Amino acid sequence: MSNKLVFDYSKSCGFFEQCELEKISSEVKTAHEMLNQKSGAGSEYTGWLDLPHKYDRAEFEKIREAAQRIRDNSDVLIVIGIGGSYLGARAAVEMLSHPFYNCLPFGKGKRTGIFFAGNNLSSAYIKGIIDIIKDKDISINVISKSGTTTEPAIAFRIFREYVEKKYGREGARERIYVTTDKSSGALKRLADAEGYESFVIPDDVGGRYSVLTPVGLLPIAASGADIGKIMNGAADACDEYMNPDIKTNQCYQYAALRNILYRKGKLIEILANYEPSLHYFAEWWKQLYGESEGKDNKGIYPSAVDFTTDLHSMGQFIQEGSRNIFETVINIEKSKQEIVIGRDKEDIDGLNYLENKTLDFVNKKALQGTLFAHVDGGVPNLMLNVPEISDYYFGQMVYFFEKACGISGYLLGVNPFNQPGVEKYKRNMFALLGKSGYEKEREALLKRINFEQK
CB of 196 to ligand PA5, least distance (A): 16
Chain mean position to CA 155: 21
> How many helices (H) and strands (E) in the chain?
16, 10
The active-site residue out of 240, 291, 327, 402 is: 291
Segment interacting with ligand PA5, rule: CB under 6 A, options 26-34, 88-96, 141-149, 365-373: 141-149
Amino acid at 102: N
Segment interacting with ligand PA5, rule: CB under 6 A, options 51-59, 70-78, 204-212, 278-286: 204-212
d(CA 269, CA 289): 10
Q: Write the Ramachandran bin of 224: left for phi over 0, alpha for psi from -120 to 50, otherwise beta.
A: left
d(CA 77, CA 97): 14
The yes-or-no answer on residue 426 being catalytic is yes
CB of 428 to ligand PA5, least distance (A): 15
Instruction: Please say whether the dihedral angle defined by the alpha carbons of residues 261, 267, 273 and 277, taken in this order, is positive or negative.
Output: positive
Is residue 206 part of the contact set for ligand PA5 (CB under 6 A)?
Answer: yes
The yes-or-no answer on residue 32 being catalytic is no
- Nearest to ligand PA5 of 145, 374 (CB atom): 145
CB of 84 to ligand PA5, least distance (A): 3
Strand partners, 388: 334
The active-site residue out of 38, 62, 136, 426 is: 426
The active-site residue out of 134, 170, 312, 345 is: 312
Beta sheet of 176-180, edge-to-edge order? 113-117, 76-80, 138-144, 176-180, 197-200
Is residue 145 part of the contact set for ligand PA5 (CB under 6 A)?
Answer: yes
- Pick one of 84, 88, 395, 409: the residue that binds ligand PA5 (CB under 6 A): 84
Site for ligand PA5 in 225-244 (CB under 6 A): none
Segment interacting with ligand PA5, rule: CB under 6 A, options 202-210, 316-324, 391-399, 438-446: 202-210
CB of 120 to ligand PA5, least distance (A): 13
Site for ligand PA5 in 403-432 (CB under 6 A): 419
Contact between 352 and 332 under an 8 Å Cβ cutoff? The reply is: no
Bond before 308 cis per omega within 30 degrees = yes
- Nearest to ligand PA5 of 42, 113 (CB atom): 42
Is residue 216 part of the contact set for ligand PA5 (CB under 6 A)?
Answer: no
* Burial group, residue 345, by CB count within 10 angstroms (0-12, 13-18, 19+): exposed
Is residue 214 part of the contact set for ligand PA5 (CB under 6 A)?
Answer: no
- Nearest to ligand PA5 of 182, 365 (CB atom): 182
d(CA 454, CA 239): 62
CB of 449 to ligand PA5, least distance (A): 25
Site for ligand PA5 in 64-83 (CB under 6 A): 82-83
- Measured from the Cβ of residue 298, the count of other Cβ atoms closer than 10 Å reads 13
The yes-or-no answer on residue 312 being catalytic is yes
Task: Provide the H-helix boundaries in 274-358.
Answer: 279-293, 315-320
- Nearest to ligand PA5 of 178, 246 (CB atom): 178
Contact between 238 and 50 under an 8 Å Cβ cutoff? The reply is: yes
CB of 51 to ligand PA5, least distance (A): 16
Segment interacting with ligand PA5, rule: CB under 6 A, options 42-50, 205-213, 231-239, 337-345: 205-213
- Pick one of 36, 149, 249, 328: the residue that binds ligand PA5 (CB under 6 A): 149
φ, ψ of residue 253 in degrees (nearest 5): -60, -40
Q: Which of 79, 69, 74 is nearest to 159 (CA)?
A: 79
CB of 288 to ligand PA5, least distance (A): 8
Is residue 144 part of the contact set for ligand PA5 (CB under 6 A)?
Answer: yes
Site for ligand PA5 in 434-453 (CB under 6 A): none
* Burial group, residue 180, by CB count within 10 angstroms (0-12, 13-18, 19+): buried
Contact between 11 and 375 under an 8 Å Cβ cutoff? The reply is: yes
Torsion of the alpha carbons at 377, 378, 379 and 384, rounded to the nearest 10? 90
Q: Which stretches of the chain bind ligand PA5, using CB under 6 A?
A: 82-85, 144-146, 149, 152, 206-208, 291, 419
Return the active site residues: 291, 312, 426
